[in-house]
Amino acid sequence: MDLPFLFSSRERAMRKAVSIALALFLLYLPGCQGNKKEQRIDRAHGHLRIVAAHIAEAFNPMQGEVIRVAIAARDAYLNKDSFIPSVNRKKYGLASTGIFYKKVQDENPSMFVSALTPVTDSVRETVYLTEALDQALIAACKHPSIVQTYYNSRLNLSRIYPPVDVLNQFDPHIDILKFAFYYEADAAHNPGKGPVWLPNPYVDPAGRGWIVSLICPVYVHNRLEGVAGLDVAVSTVAKTFPTLQDKSVLMIDHEGAIITGNDALTSLLSMPPVTQEKYLKSISDDQGSPKGHSLLESRSRDVREMAKRILHHNEDRANITIRGKKHTVIAAAIPEPGWTILRIMD
């Protein structure tokens, strides 16, 4: 029973004011919660941008490393007459497969010349003069994220550090010039003639996981003599930045291929596991993201549209519904080597 007469007019006014305040609070509450969610996403996005910037900074010194190897190679060609006489030529020989290689196994770089190249005096001379690169290749590989350094010449010659068993590791008739780590440095693909990251990371058949390569052309008297290069293991980058190990975070290349991310998250995005064997691909002239492993090819239309907005329209935030649940995807780009970090937020 309503008994308004039991309260004074002042009390009734106070009760009315409290009721209005309560109604306003309940009306405003969803907005507060929405603002808090936006603030949480904004903070996470800011942190993601900082991580992306730090990763870019970590890659910057590697350009200096590959340039130093390229300079050492150029100097070797220009000063070959003073260096070649000191080379121990007995350490090199011809294998039954037709490969001309370094027979001595030591802690210095391996060397081989493909059987496609006839072993002429000019080829032998290039083998001997490129021995001058050994210390530069070793020095560059001391960087914690660099797993391999190499020099490949137009004569199908390759010097590689750390040393490998070249007779068993490579096809005797390998055509180095048809691989992206060589031709992407030529004048047609790299008119600037400076260091460039290969556009696609690849899964290393030797078991080092995802690899990305940085290469630099070596010109002598305006002719491309060869290409210096180094390989970076994505796993070492991921270990350095804990954010990349977060279960809600993944990293993709410029074509949308996932290069870091846990299987639960890739499954949520209707993608196959990163670790599947069919994910392996070479870096030959048909290099590209493996078919079906790009977010642009996800089984989910919403995921494909999200990837398009981020990769093709340079958006850094997108709302998406996955399995009936709303999520916000935030993105931060790493210009070099062309990756993007994504975080899926509730």
Q: Are residues 165 and 313 in the same domain?
A: no
- Compute CA 114 distance to the chain's CA centroid, rounded to the nearest angstrom: 29
84 or 18: which leads in pLDDT? 84
Residue 289 lies inside a defined structural domain of this protein: yes
Q: Are residues 95 and 44 in the same domain?
A: no
What's the pLDDT band for 276 if we cut at 50, 70, 90?
very low
Residue 7 lies inside a defined structural domain of this protein: no
Residue 179 lies inside a defined structural domain of this protein: yes
How far, CA to CA in Å, does 152 sit from each of 197, 228, 312, 322?
16, 6, 34, 47
Q: What is the model's pLDDT at position 30? A: 52
Residue 240's H or E segment, with its range, is helix 234-240
Above 90 in pLDDT, residue 74?
Answer: yes
Number of domains composing the chain: 2
Count CA within 13 A, CB hemisphere, residue 49: 9
Joined tokens for residue 324: 């009936």
- Segment 115-127 shows an average pLDDT of 96
Per mean pLDDT, which range of 68-77, 134-143, 224-233, 253-262 is the poorest?
Answer: 253-262
Q: Are residues 145 and 183 in the same domain?
A: yes
Return the CATH number at 218. 3.30.450
What's the pLDDT band for 86 if we cut at 50, 70, 90?
very high
Q: Are residues 196 and 254 in the same domain?
A: no
Q: Are residues 150 and 287 in the same domain?
A: no
Residue 203 lies inside a defined structural domain of this protein: yes
Above 70 in pLDDT, residue 77?
Answer: yes
Q: Is residue 248 classed as helix, strand or coil in its secondary structure?
A: coil
Q: Are residues 94 and 182 in the same domain?
A: yes
Residue 25 lies inside a defined structural domain of this protein: no
What helix, strand, coil percent values describe the chain, rounded to 5? 45, 25, 35
Q: Are residues 321 and 212 in the same domain?
A: no
Q: What is the model's pLDDT at position 143? A: 86
C-alpha distance across the termini of the chain, in Å = 47
Angle at 96 between CA 76 and CA 231, to 5 degrees: 45
Q: DSSP letter at 20?
A: H
- Domain end: 182, 208, 235, which one? 235
Q: Are residues 226 and 147 in the same domain?
A: yes
Residue 211 lies inside a defined structural domain of this protein: yes
Return the CATH number at 42. 3.30.450.20
Q: DSSP letter at 247?
A: T
Residue 313 lies inside a defined structural domain of this protein: yes
Per mean pLDDT, which range of 71-75, 129-133, 188-192, 251-255 is the poorest?
Answer: 251-255
Residue 138 lies inside a defined structural domain of this protein: yes
Q: Which of 209, 213, 212, 208 is nearest to 227 (CA)?
A: 213
What's the pLDDT band for 15 if we cut at 50, 70, 90?
very low
Give the global pTM. Answer: 0.80
- Segment 145-160 shows an average pLDDT of 95
How far, CA to CA in Å, does 334 sit from each of 41, 49, 66, 194, 309?
20, 9, 20, 19, 17
Between CA 252 and CA 306 the distance in angstroms is 13
Above 50 in pLDDT, residue 84?
Answer: yes
What's the pLDDT band for 292 if we cut at 50, 70, 90?
low
Q: Are residues 243 and 186 in the same domain?
A: no
Angle at 113 between CA 108 and CA 115, to 5 degrees: 145
As a residue count, the chain comes to: 346
Joined tokens for residue 54: 């730090």
Asked if residue 130 lies in contact with residue 111, where contact means CB atoms within 8 angstroms, the answer is yes
- Compute CA 326 distance to the chain's CA centroid, rounded to the nearest angstrom: 29
Q: Are residues 197 and 220 in the same domain?
A: yes
Residue 96 identity? S
Q: DSSP letter at 44?
A: H
Joined tokens for residue 165: 């068993």
Over pLDDT 70: what percentage of the chain?
84
- Domain end: 169, 200, 235, which one? 235
Q: What is the model's pLDDT at position 282? A: 42
Q: What is the model's pLDDT at position 200? A: 82
Q: What is the model's pLDDT at position 209? A: 75
Q: Are residues 86 and 183 in the same domain?
A: yes
Asked if residue 233 lies in contact with residue 145, where contact means CB atoms within 8 angstroms, the answer is yes
Q: Is residue 33 classed as helix, strand or coil in its secondary structure?
A: helix
Between CA 16 and CA 216 the distance in angstroms is 77
Domain with 212, as residue range(s), is 61-235
Q: Are residues 108 and 168 in the same domain?
A: yes
Q: What is the model's pLDDT at position 21? A: 46
- Domain end: 235, 262, 297, which one? 235
